[in-house]
Structure 1
Amino acid sequence: MSTTRSHTAIAITGKGIVESIQLPTVDPIPGEVQVNVAYSTIVAPDVYMVDGSLLTKPEDYPIPLGLSVSGTVVAVGDGVPRLKVGDRVCAFTLTQRKSKGLQLKVILHHTLCAKIPDNMSLEDAVTIPDNFVTAFYTIFDQLGLPFPLQFPATTAPQDAEVPILIYGAGSTAGQYAIQILRLAGYVNVIAIASSRHHEYLRSLGAKHTIDYRVPDMADRTIRAAGGKVQLAMDCITAEGTMKRVAQVVRPKAKVALLLPIKEGDSLVPESGKMWMAVPSDKNPFGEDIKVMGVRTFLYQDNEYMKEKLMPEILPQLLKENLIKPSQIRMFNQGTFLERTLAALELVRSGKVSGEKVVVQVA
């Protein structure tokens, strides 16, 4: 007689409804591992899905929440290199129900997992995967900067001095973008962020830091760059932020927008309106500007990044202490569901800046 196994997950079960549910526990197939989850993260897209800003179909429910995870490998499918039972890992989860973070057990393809060193806590490790992957993919795939033969780079790239604008640099995505650019040998990063983040961003590798609220932000940016910039990454991607970026980019520039595009000027718009492409009536960029909407969930379409980024590159950087984890806003009080709801409300409030919202799972 077979017994169906199950485990607890926190999931969206309808628009605006988040509940604790039971999901079937499955074994890993070839290429996959099963991880007992210790921590996961709540990010803005979780709020978008709960509130219905990102459209979902009724048949998609239940949708477990949580993006990155950290925990311990408890089962390994056939053909998995590098990982074994007992390894501590952090991982970037994709859209499959079985891989989402806010559940006690997840199934992950091994290429989404990075083994973490013994001296790193699971709390710190969970802050890394989604923004590290986003920044790496944006810089080397979307913006098209040449990938160094070795990473970190051992020689300076040909265009090491090229000005690179990171708007919303105080966000966790912006912080990892600055670190990755430094490790790749780029030394002229212009970080646009609240002044309270400036000292920290300079310690990560930013050469110039400018407050987005100053009235002459565009002029300061252009002076720092020695002219308008060729490469820009918008880590917030709202109507207001795109307008500011558009003021400082030169003709034929490349601009990477972290999707979705939000109405207004903040990461979580009050209206809930957002788009996956720039509406023609809201596009501040000239026709000669190459605008790219970054969809991080597609990063494994890049075969090199699929095979190398999480399995090899990130573990080596962590082992050598070359990546700084984000600061943490921890939710570890109350029930699993209560912790998640409180974390969602904080992200929804827009009062998170430069921190990763982490939920203790087990």
Structure 2
Amino acid sequence: MNTREWLQKLVSFDTTSRNSNLQLIEYVRDALATQGVKAELIHSPAGGKANLFATLPARDGSAQGGIVLSGHTDVVPVDGQPWSSDPFALIEREGRLYGRGSCDMKGFIAASLALVPEFLAMPRARPLHLALSYDEEVGCVGAPVMLDELKLRGAKFDGCVVGEPTSMQVVVAHKGINLFRCRVHGKAAHSSLTPRGSNAIEYAARLICHIRDIADHYREKGPYDEFFDVPFTTMTTNQIQGGIAVNTIPEFCEFAYEFRNLPGMSVQGIQAQVDAYVQGELLPRMRREFADARIDIETGAGAPALEASETAAITQLVRALTDDQGKRKVAYGTEAGLFHKVGIPTVVCGPGSIEQAHKPDEYIEVSQLDACERFLRRVGQSLEQ
């Protein structure tokens, strides 16, 4: 199949993160098998989802070293979005291919799979690897499972390209993403007897405001990196729920917050500011009202920041193949930081614009897929030496 045919097939699988991706993954596995490529599935702990890892060996049969082409198979929901066409049926209009995941990031996966026959025919001195993950969109959950398995086997790689949509430009850094869920446990009471309760919502609000104060400090004082579109660390509270009635002091409130840290900033150091406020000020105040008051903060999924080395061979290669020397850093997270963290030099470069990701009528331009094909072909050719 060519790239467009592959993309049509991949989009037809509803791999919204809440669903299983096994149908897509097994289809890819079977398609690779018909070409003599053995793909391994590395399942989630519960077994309902899987990563796929496949190696196209070097001409001497070697599977060590070489370059990894990495992409995630899950997509964000379409719920409530005003799509002009079926989001899971690829459709072309005026040089654009519309469908959920066409840009983020099944376009890159489609181009990679379409070129497998060419890759196999190349007299490569080094292997090429395909790494497809699950649940990137909900905190980069799947890739660590795959990377842990590969590490156990002692697998070594020279570099990795994560094909997130960058308009085929080189991205050398992105922020880390860190997700937390906070549960505040107070004491219920009738609202006419306010002193007999401990209001979980009000104390949650105090903590939320403190998180905002920390965020404001980073915005006003830095540190800064002007190469980022948002050049400072950010913190936001994005979900909250609590309370059962307007005349009842709430005993429980739950909220979720995140921060996106610049590379080099300590994740533990940022979170320590939240913990210090909880332990030093908020909990003592709550417990003067209710001795058993409790605030639990649970660390969720996330991904480390990426800061690629300009001297790394993969950075220089991708810059040379794209003829792009720009220094780009982005606020959104990717799985590239995970690969980098385990010692695999990694850059981000893929077709489509991040501006189209997650939106209704998501699309990728045909010209971007063509450019991606040319780039990937050159990556394969670079392994012939």
TM-score computed with the length of structure 2 as normaliser: 0.25
Higher RCO (Cα < 8 Å, 6 or more apart): 2
Structure with greater helix share of residues: 2
